[in-house]
Amino acid sequence: MINLLAPDDRRQLAAARTNTLLRRYVFLLGLVVAVLLIEIGGVYVFLSVDKARNEAAIIESESKTTEFAQIRQDASSFRSNLATAKYILDKQVDYTSLIVGVANALPNDAVIDSLSLNPETFGTPATLTIHTSSYGLAIDVKTRLQQSPLFSDVSFQSVAKEDDSTSPRPFTAVYNVTFAKDALKP
């Protein structure tokens, strides 16, 4: 085939084809950029809506948390009180059975006037006041207290008779006693 076109026209036609191809590429590139921008915008809107929804959920959760703060504080206080009660119950001494044990160690005609008990009493000297009907019974009380496993040491502090007393137990005996530490054990 014979080319009848002038070389300048041929260059113009080749440039026109190249320009058309470049125009197509620029248009497609613009279209791709526009689609990407639309997608980015869509993702941004989606994330913004999701962020707003999550922030609303956080605010709602915080309001519920503040509603339950008092309950949480009450539960913590209750837990602390339970721990304190457990500690007290673990360290509790059954004074009733101890007093009954002391009373059982006494003879029939002896009456306890004063007896001071606390956790520090055990293993340390304490005072026990008992009223009796005779001096011999006061000595018998001392002997029985010494034989009792509740005491590790028993001694007289004083024995006195009330002169003008009409009581059936005019003798007052005060004893220095040391409660045995194992008296606490059941």
The model's pLDDT over 76-87, given as tens digits with 9 standing for 90+, comes to 999 999 988 887
Contact 129, 177 (CB under 8 A): no
- Terminal-to-terminal C-alpha distance of the chain: 127
The Cα–Cα gap between 90 and 140 comes to 36
Instruction: Show me where the domains of the chain are located.
Output: 1-92, 95-184
Segment 19-23 mean pLDDT? 95
The model's pLDDT over 116-164, given as tens digits with 9 standing for 90+, comes to 777 777 778 888 888 888 888 888 888 888 888 888 888 888 888 887 7
Segment 23-37 mean pLDDT? 97
The Cα–Cα gap between 161 and 77 comes to 56
Average pLDDT, the chain: 86
Most confident of 34-38, 59-63, 65-69, 110-114: 34-38
Q: Which fold has domain 95-184?
A: Gyrase A; domain 2 (3.30.1360)
The Cα–Cα gap between 109 and 140 comes to 11
Residue 24 tokens read as: 């197509």
The Cα–Cα gap between 94 and 127 comes to 19
